[in-house]
Structure 1
Amino acid sequence: MDRRYALGVIGAAAVMGGAWSLTRRNDDFPPLAAFAEGAAGDTSSVVEMVMGSPDAKVVLKEYASFTCPHCATFHNGPLKKVKVEYVETGKVKFVYRDVYFDRPGLWAGLVARCDPAKFFGISDLLYADQKAWIGSGDPAGIVQNLRKIGRIAGLTEDQLDTCLSDGERAQTLYTWYQDNAKADEIDSTPTLFINDVKHSNMSYDDLKALLDKALDEA
């Protein structure tokens, strides 16, 4: 596969209520459908991004897109509190599942996953500075902004060159996302699962109540 393929496809979703919908378009970007569904075949090489104790009684799984503003709000607010109160104390294991609405989101995923050990640190930077790195929507500018975030996180130029030009990896990640979204019936972001029970976006207080209930029942 042409390694430039990862940079040649573009798409987006639209804001819908308190979540971003996978079924609506923002005409700033054409669709990501140029990726053939399932074309990557084996997705076993994709690393599941997990934070917290493997023995935690409660698992919080989130489906999110790096270009989704509601996801940024969730990560910069409620999730930060959840990490301190529940994840870092060993009560909850957090699983992050990428959703790729668009080319910028896929690029961001390639940068964040360039070094799995740095994934959550880079994710924090991407969500904290989302409006800035997306900027005017110019593809070249977005790529340069993502490279800057990668460098801040400690990635080298060679690492960034490799990760951002890996079309096969991009296809694999996109197929992995599609498989997960189909299995869990994901149609918007952020979507949350608490011990496999599906929930929509919510405030910290509401999430805290559900996590406490799940811990009591575990």
Structure 2
Amino acid sequence: MKRIIPVAALALTLIAGGGWLLSQPRTTASGGFDLPGAASAQESTAADVEITDMVQGDVNAPVEVVEYASFTCPHCANFHATVYDQLKENYIDTGKIKFVYREVYFDKYGVWASMIARCGGPEKFFGITGLMYKGQSEWVRAGADGAIADELRKIGLLAGITKDQLDTCLADSDQLRGLVAWYQENATRDDVTSTPTFLIDGKKYSNMNYADFSAVLDEKLGE
């Protein structure tokens, strides 16, 4: 089980290039990672950096879906491999739902991945996210920190971001602090205790297959 440490200490540890040793996350019955302590996490003292929600679909759609996910969570990768594409085709691209993606951080590698995904701005974010999840089993097992960082840079390069831009993004300590604080605020407010977690019009749901997800959406759209 991976425990959340105070966000200020977390940010300082990450900035220093280190990490923290935590026990393995517990898999939930619905297929997700447990984040005990999220609701009681301490208030952030991070830098005042504005973090933008990453959004797909019609912002005025009748139903809003928020996904809380970690780039290092295999259950999240599975969701994006088995459910997300159908969700995008049938509900996001058709203007039925507004889809919001919010990052959750288990470790420094998830933060690095987030900083790479956001480096290209909103236009490239979801494309990079897809590449992150598709190649997750490879880059998370690349070995030492430097090897993992290099694999993440390769994904950014594939998306058309230059090496200098990627290095600048990864070195942005204010952005790092802002992301960690943003995540902590979101997880506490929305009681996010495992990944992936979904908010559908504000109601919390755990991991679902496409049939169950579409059934919930169709019910919401029919109201």
Interval of TM-score (by shorter of Structure 1 and Structure 2): 0.7 to 0.9
| Match among 198, 205, 215 for residue 211 of structure 2 | 205
Query: How far apart are residue 11 of structure 1 and its match?
Result: 5.6
Seen in structure 2, the aligned counterparts of structure 1 residues 99 and 66 have a Cα distance that, compared at 3 Å, is same
Q: How does 1:15-30 map to 2 (within 5 A)?
A: 15-17=26-28, 18-23=31-36
Instruction: Give the SS at the match of 1:113.
Output: helix
TM-score, structure 2 normalization: 0.86
Partner of residue 18, structure 2: 8
Query: How far apart are residue 22 of structure 1 and its match?
Result: 1.6
Q: How does 1:58-73 map to 2 (within 5 A)?
A: 58-73=63-78
Q: How does 1:74-113 map to 2 (within 5 A)?
A: 74-113=79-118
Seen in structure 2, the aligned counterparts of structure 1 residues 140 and 207 have a Cα distance that, compared at 3 Å, is same
Partner of residue 152, structure 1: 158
1:171 matches 2:174: no
Instruction: Give the SS at the match of 1:202.
Output: coil
Instruction: Give the SS at the match of 1:96.
Output: strand
Identity between Structure 1 and Structure 2 (%): 47
Seen in structure 2, the aligned counterparts of structure 1 residues 123 and 6 have a Cα distance that, compared at 3 Å, is farther
| Match among 139, 156, 163 for residue 133 of structure 1 | 139
Cα deviation per residue 1:172-217 (whole Å; 9 max; x = unaligned)? Answer: 1000000000000011000001111110001110000000000001
Paired residues, number: 205
Partner of residue 115, structure 1: 120
Query: How far apart are residue 138 of structure 1 and its match?
Result: 1.9
Query: How far apart are residue 8 of structure 1 and its match?
Result: 2.9
Partner of residue 55, structure 1: 60
Q: Which amino acid aligns with 2:18?
A: G
Conserved in 2, the CA contact under 8 Å of 1:63 and 1:99? yes
Query: How far apart are residue 137 of structure 1 and its match?
Result: 4.1
Structure 1: gaps spanning 5 or more residues: 25-32
| Match among 210, 214, 217 for residue 220 of structure 2 | 214
Instruction: Give the SS at the match of 1:16.
Output: coil
Q: Which amino acid aligns with 1:85?
A: N
Conserved in 1, the CA contact under 8 Å of 2:47 and 2:177? no
Partner of residue 29, structure 1: none
**Distance in 2 of aligned mates of 1:92 and 1:81:** 13
Instruction: Give the SS at the match of 2:66.
Output: strand
Partner of residue 4, structure 2: none
> Aligned Cα RMSD in Å?
2.1
Query: How far apart are residue 145 of structure 1 and its match?
Result: 0.2
Seen in structure 2, the aligned counterparts of structure 1 residues 177 and 6 have a Cα distance that, compared at 3 Å, is farther
Conserved in 1, the CA contact under 8 Å of 2:47 and 2:174? no
**Distance in 2 of aligned mates of 1:139 and 1:149:** 16
Partner of residue 30, structure 1: none
**Distance in 1 of aligned mates of 2:137 and 2:103:** 19
